[in-house]
Amino acid sequence: MSWLSTVRVALNALRVNKLRSMLTMLGIIIGVGAVITMIAVGGGAQARVAEQIRSLGANVMIILSGSTTSSGIRLGAGAAQTLTEDDARGIATEVDSVIAAPLLRGSGQLVFGNSNWSTQIYGAWPEYFDVRDWRIVAGRGFEANELTGAAKVVIIGQTTLRQLLGENVTPEAAVDQMIRVRKVPMTIIGVLERKGQSSQGQDQDDVIFVPLSTARNRLFGAPQGRLRRVSVIMIKVDEGADMKVAEDRIRELLRQRHRLQQGADDDFTVRNLTEMLQAQEASSRILGILLAAVASVSLLVGGIGIMNIMLVSVTERTREIGLRMAVGARGRDILMQFLIEAVTLSLIGGLIGVAIGLAGSYVIGNFAGWRTEMRPEAVLLAVGFAAGVGVFFGFYPARKASKLLPIEALRYE
């Protein structure tokens, strides 16, 4: 019996029992649809964390000022500004394979013509943009004479640009525009690329940057100017360098610079932000695997359904099997016929399940507000797994049918 004839007989058997075939496929449809949807949800979560890591910058650490005690009351981290610009310069020169960038943080009102906007103001070194992997899409960065001379120049984020200068102003058109920052007239010299939200949901583009000396001397007042205090120091470790070694060396250097006695608590905090986000990424990956594993149970149930229906089909068609064997069909022909039926049910159910899974991912992404991301290999894996389920659970009924003796099959009532 030819392959083509075997396939035709198998498909005819499925077409005769349309309702039963559809009910048999239902488990596979639900299973594949659930797997596709869960993989899309898990992939979206991983993609979101990957974006956060990219927006933060690779191999980044942040050094925060420490706590202080007042009248026996211990205040939180950052309550006392214990870090200075000289600390950042010392780290940059004495610790190998790192870039250091101090920041002085504040906020204030910006004015452009009849528009105004309140935003975050950062005094920074040019190295800060290297640490954050943050490109300037129009204009330029700070120059050396602007850093030493407290120049009245500003680099602006995309959200601030839109809110202050208007929706229709391009980054190129914003360069050389004059704005007032806390009543100080300044010139826009650069516009940053869009970064999006941070891991805490804050808009990273709602910000402006000025030279650190400008922030200290012109915007935020005398105390920072006298002591050269900074709010935080951002650190980027070179690719391939050991972040733990760099962190220990930075901690040791700052303790020496701050003259902390042995056993005394640090008056600063070092946080490895990349490790935190990578741990979050690992958690989201595990969550995605668990979701897919739970959804795969539906495929198992669907496979058991296929086995049950195929066993019933073998019992119902025993006389047909005997008749086909009596006219020359071999056992392997019967085996192949029932395997083709099982695999066909699985593949059709798998393809319908893929369509339902993709539709479910779209609904979740657009109406529930969850980010989803579908990879082609996940679709191929789900369909391949569905076909494998058909072969695995269809083999026993097919083998049982192929082992029937023609005489006994013809006598079956």
Average pLDDT, the chain: 79
Examine residue 251 and state whether it is found in any structural domain, yes or no: no
The whole-number average pLDDT for the span 206-224 is: 84
Distance CA 117, CA 108 (A): 8
Query: Are 109 and 29 part of one and the same domain?
Result: no
Residue 222 banded pLDDT, cuts 50, 70, 90: low
Least reliable range by pLDDT among 31-40, 148-157, 299-308? 299-308
Among residues of the chain, what percentage have pLDDT more than 70? 76
* In the predicted structure, residue 317 carries a pLDDT above the cut 70: no
Examine residue 41 and state whether it is found in any structural domain, yes or no: yes
Examine residue 87 and state whether it is found in any structural domain, yes or no: no
Q: Which of 216, 233, 250 represents a domain boundary (last residue)?
A: 233
Examine residue 86 and state whether it is found in any structural domain, yes or no: no
The whole-number average pLDDT for the span 393-408 is: 71
Query: Are 296 and 381 part of one and the same domain?
Result: yes
Examine residue 241 and state whether it is found in any structural domain, yes or no: no
Examine residue 91 and state whether it is found in any structural domain, yes or no: no
- CB contact at 8 A, 164 and 110: yes
- CB contact at 8 A, 346 and 306: yes
Contacts of 178 (CB under 8 A, 6+ apart): 112, 185, 186, 187, 188
Number of C-beta neighbours around residue 172 at 10 A: 11
- CB contact at 8 A, 156 and 188: yes
First-last CA distance in the chain = 27
Residue 26 banded pLDDT, cuts 50, 70, 90: confident
Query: Are 194 and 302 part of one and the same domain?
Result: no
**How many structural domains are present in the chain?**
2
Q: Which amino acid is at 270?
A: V
Q: Which of 233, 251, 268 represents a domain boundary (last residue)?
A: 233
Number of C-beta neighbours around residue 106 at 10 A: 16
Q: Give the global pTM.
A: 0.59
Examine residue 186 and state whether it is found in any structural domain, yes or no: yes
Examine residue 69 and state whether it is found in any structural domain, yes or no: no
- CB contact at 8 A, 175 and 231: no
Q: To 10 degrees, what angle do helices 376-402 and 331-363 make? A: 150
Q: Which carries the bigger pLDDT value, residue 47 or residue 83?
A: 83
Residue 225 banded pLDDT, cuts 50, 70, 90: very low
Residue that the structure tokens 């001379």 belong to: 149
Which residues constitute the domain of residue 214?
102-233
Query: Are 206 and 123 part of one and the same domain?
Result: yes
Distance CA 65, CA 193 (A): 29
Residue 100 banded pLDDT, cuts 50, 70, 90: very high
Distance CA 283, CA 290 (A): 11
Distance CA 337, CA 325 (A): 13
C-beta pairs of 408-412 under 8 Å, 24+ apart in sequence: 408/322, 409/318, 409/319, 409/321, 409/322, 409/323, 409/325, 410/319, 410/322, 410/323, 410/326, 411/322, 412/318, 412/319, 412/322
β-partners of residue 65 are 268
Query: Are 209 and 328 part of one and the same domain?
Result: no
Query: Are 289 and 361 part of one and the same domain?
Result: yes
Kindly report, residue by residue over 59-79, the tens digit of the pLDDT.
788 888 876 555 455 555 555
Query: Are 302 and 406 part of one and the same domain?
Result: yes
- CB contact at 8 A, 61 and 247: yes
Query: Are 217 and 337 part of one and the same domain?
Result: no
Contacts of 307 (CB under 8 A, 6+ apart): 393, 394, 396, 397
Query: Are 220 and 334 part of one and the same domain?
Result: no
- CB contact at 8 A, 66 and 269: yes
